[in-house]
């Protein structure tokens, strides 16, 4: 636990990700995670900032899956969508700190395809949707060597709106 | 005046936390070469082992996608801005 990064998200936003996965089932949903990353503050002295989350999701930016050819097991977000998510984040004083997508009828584990296409630093939330019903939700970060993902804890927190 | 390379947020930890860097370069490929020479850890995130730009790495000169220009041979001139813009992909199995 000590070495595992943790992502804070409200129960409301976590539920919205699940709902998006159910809504687009049997296709994959996708969207941007907007929030703040304070990892360096916490990393410098975790004991000193016990209430500062390393990374916190404060809003979502749902997107349309651009993979018309295989939307049941692939998702794609164009560079134009990325720019538009970044613009939306900036308008709220936030950053794009990651992305979420669903795995219809598959576990919430990153695939080799996920890994091959991942960026470092971003949080990748995956929600498994079985028979249309959202199940487990996990979060992952790509390792520096690009060889695998490391799990990231998800902590459901409620904070005052920013 | 050199060309300016904008570094996307996920790659800044590998580039001394910088948001941009400036280089003297006459093509996009030359600028990216300088960038990955100065910040060697960036290379594996931008290029495949065969040295090709990864499919989810999009490069723009000012507002033009280099895929529709001359790719990495796209010429640059002083004052141009090269932006590295992510696209995001994934999926099960």
Give the best residue of B17, B42, B46, B88 to mutate against chain A (max A CB count within 10 A).
B88
pLDDT band (50, 70, 90) for residue A4: confident
Q: Which residues pair with A6 in a beta bridge?
A: A153
Burial class (CB in 10 A: 0-12, 13-18, 19+), B44: middle
Tokens standing for residue A4? 């595992």
Closest Cβ–Cβ partner in B56, B85, B93 for A106: B93
Mean pLDDT of A5-30: 96
Query: pLDDT band for position A5 (50/70/90)?
Result: confident
Q: What predicted TM-score, i.e. pTM, was given to this entire model? A: 0.91
> Nearest C-alpha of chain A: how many angstroms from B49?
12
Cβ–Cβ gap B88/A117 under 8 Å? yes
Q: Does B58 touch chain A (CB under 8 A)?
A: yes
Domain count, chain B: 1
Residue of B nearest to A103 (CA): B92
Contact of B92 with chain A, judged by CB distance below 8 Å, is answered with yes
B35 domain residue, yes or no: yes
Domains within chain A, CATH numbers bracketed: 6-156 (3.40.140.10)
Q: How far is A159 from chain B (nearest CA, A)?
A: 25
**pLDDT exceeds 50 at position A42:** no
The confidence score (pLDDT) of residue A162 equals 47
| CATH number, position B64 | 3.10.20.30
What residue numbers bound the domain in which B62 lies? 3-86
Per-residue pLDDT of A70-100, as tens digits, reads: 999 999 999 999 999 999 999 999 999 999 9
Label residue A52 by pLDDT band (50, 70, 90).
Answer: low
Q: Taking the CB of residue A158, how many other CB atoms lie within 10 A of it?
A: 9
Of A70, A75, A145, the CB nearest to B90: A75
Torsion of CA B55, A109, A21, A82, to 10 degrees: -30
Whether A101 and A71 have beta carbons less than 8 Å apart is answered as no
Q: Is ipTM over 0.90?
A: yes
**Residue A54 DSSP label:** S
More confident: A47 or B38: B38
User: What is the structure's pLDDT at A27?
Assistant: 96
Give residue-wise pLDDT tens across range B21-73: 999 999 999 999 999 999 999 999 999 999 999 999 999 999 999 999 999 99
CB contacts < 8 A, A to B, total: 88
In a domain? residue B91: no
What is the Cα–Cα distance from A112 to A58, expressed in whole angstroms? 29
Answer yes or no: is pLDDT of A47 > 70: no
Question: Given CB atoms, is B16 within the 8 Å cutoff of chain A?
Answer: no
Contacts (Cβ under 8 Å, ≥6 apart) of B13:
A120, A121
């Amino acid at each position: 636990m000590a070495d595992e990064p943790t992502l804070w998200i409200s129960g409301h936003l976590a539920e919205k990700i699940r709902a998006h996965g159910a809504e687009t089932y049997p296709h994959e949903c996708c969207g941007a995670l907007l929030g703040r990353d304070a990892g360096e503050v916490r990393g410098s002295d975790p004991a000193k900032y016990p209430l500062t989350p390393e990374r916190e999701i404060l809003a979502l930016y749902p997107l349309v899956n651009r993979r018309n050819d295989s939307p049941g097991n692939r998702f794609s977000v164009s560079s134009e969508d990325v720019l538009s998510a970044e613009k939306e984040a900036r308008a709220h004083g936030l950053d794009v700190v990651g992305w979420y997508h669903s795995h219809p009828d598959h576990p919430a584990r990153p695939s080799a395809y996920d890994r091959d296409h991942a960026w470092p630093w971003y949080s990748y939330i995956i929600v498994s949707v079985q028979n249309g019903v959202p199940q487990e939700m996990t979060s992952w970060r790509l390792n520096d060597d690009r060889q695998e993902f490391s799990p990231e804890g998800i902590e459901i927190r409620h904070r005052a709106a920013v | 005046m050199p060309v300016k390379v904008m570094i996307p947020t996920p790659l800044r930890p590998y580039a001394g936390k910088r948001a941009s860097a400036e280089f003297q370069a006459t093509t996009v490929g030359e600028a990216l070469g300088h960038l990955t020479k100065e910040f060697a850890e960036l290379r594996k995130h931008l290029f495949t082992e065969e040295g090709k730009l990864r499919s989810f790495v999009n490069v723009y000169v000012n507002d033009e996608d280099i895929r529709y220009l001359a790719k990495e041979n796209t010429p640059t001139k002083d004052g141009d801005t090269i932006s590295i813009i992510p696209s995001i992909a994934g999926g099960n199995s």
